[in-house]
């Protein structure tokens, strides 16, 4: 995810959503599927991609009506206050395959480790791209990942996640999984298809649905959101009693929040997530 603050001024990327962005001097550089993207920290709309197939409108979701969206989710007093505290925070639209592979790497680990795994995948299996005299590696295609053995993926530092990466790469490479087509499907249908993938549970599915498949009502619940719900939403039924949510509790809580916040519940989720991380002093 990324958080874009003040589109025309200060900007920060929250790596809890977008894992492969980094600031170098006055520019941000990021990996978006097969492209390297660069934009100016001072003016994010001054954006180029290499090769040129991504626009600022696309990745910053400039087509979203932020006024209307913020109005909808601000019926909740906490989110209303966070909208004021973090002006300009936005969702970023991610490459669907990269998003799926990224969150398959995200289970039972932390953000610095996720970044390390993904950089390792890019370096080993991604195409090299030169931008501004610097060498980058694009995100590997599903075919490239499918050509790698599970052992090679383990050697890239993925641990037990290698099996899931391999399984998803195979489905995409063989054409049995078409993420693009899921953008046109309903939330329920797209989620059901994602849950068939080995290694994808409700949390990862909701992340892909929100960040890449245009399901802005998806409400992913990770450990930070679970804490936010426990601390601030007393009226929720079947709240977590232990550290971890069962699949049943997850669906119950997530659907309650989707109903509560409405068709752009995912934006509310991002404010809560960003706030919980900020409050805990996390930068990355």
* Binding residues for DNA (CB under 7 A): 1, 16-17, 103, 106-113, 116, 154, 157, 159-161, 198-205, 207, 220, 222-225, 243-244, 246, 250, 269-270, 273
* Residue (72 or 222) nearer to DNA, CB: 222
Beta strand ranges found along 45-199 (DSSP E): 47-50, 128-131, 134-137
Token pair, residue 136, equals 């980058």
Least distance (Å) from DNA to the CB of residue 131?
Answer: 26
Least distance (Å) from DNA to the CB of residue 127?
Answer: 25
What is the distance between the alpha carbons of residues 76 and 134, in angstroms, rounded to a whole number? 45
Least distance (Å) from DNA to the CB of residue 198?
Answer: 5
* Residue (70 or 91) nearer to DNA, CB: 91
Looking from the CA of 174 toward its CB, the CA atoms found within 13 Å total 8
* Residue (48 or 150) nearer to DNA, CB: 150
Within 62-106, where are the H helices? 66-73, 77-85, 96-104
Least distance (Å) from DNA to the CB of residue 83?
Answer: 17
Least distance (Å) from DNA to the CB of residue 268?
Answer: 12
* Residue (23 or 244) nearer to DNA, CB: 244
**Angstrom distances, CA of residue 180 to CA of 172, 184, 202:** 11, 8, 19
Question: How many of the other CB atoms lie within 10 Å of CB of 255?
Answer: 12
Indicate the angle between helix axes 96-104 and 111-125, nearest 10 degrees: 120
* Residue (26 or 108) nearer to DNA, CB: 108
């Amino acid at each position: 995810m990324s958080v874009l603050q003040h589109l025309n001024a200060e900007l920060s990327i929250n790596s809890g959503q977008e894992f492969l962005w980094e600031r170098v001097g006055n520019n941000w550089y990021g990996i978006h599927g097969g492209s390297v993207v660069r934009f100016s920290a001072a003016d994010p709309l001054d954006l180029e991609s290499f090769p040129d197939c991504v626009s600022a409108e696309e990745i910053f979701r400039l087509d979203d009506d932020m006024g209307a969206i913020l109005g909808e989710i601000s019926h909740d007093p906490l989110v209303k206050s966070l909208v004021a505290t973090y002006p300009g925070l936005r969702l970023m639209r991610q490459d669907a395959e990269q998003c799926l592979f990224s969150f398959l790497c995200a289970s039972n680990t932390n953000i610095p480790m996720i970044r390390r795994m993904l950089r390792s995948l890019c370096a080993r299996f991604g195409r090299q791209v030169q931008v501004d005299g610097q060498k980058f590696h694009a995100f590997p295609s599903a075919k490239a990942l499918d050509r790698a053995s599970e052992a090679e993926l383990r050697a890239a530092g993925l641990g037990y996640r290698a099996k899931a990466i391999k399984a998803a790469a195979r489905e995409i490479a063989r054409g049995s999984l078409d993420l693009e087509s899921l953008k046109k499907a309903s939330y329920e249908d797209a989620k059901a298809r994602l849950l068939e993938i080995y290694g994808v549970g409700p949390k990862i599915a909701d992340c892909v649905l929100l960040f890449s498949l245009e399901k802005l009502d998806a409400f992913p619940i990770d450990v930070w959101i679970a804490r936010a719900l426990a601390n601030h939403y007393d009226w929720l039924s079947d709240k977590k009693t232990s550290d971890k949510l069962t699949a049943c509790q997850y669906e119950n809580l997530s659907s309650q929040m989707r109903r509560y916040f409405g068709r752009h519940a995912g934006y509310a989720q991002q404010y809560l997530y960003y706030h919980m991380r900020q409050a805990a002093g996390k930068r990355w």
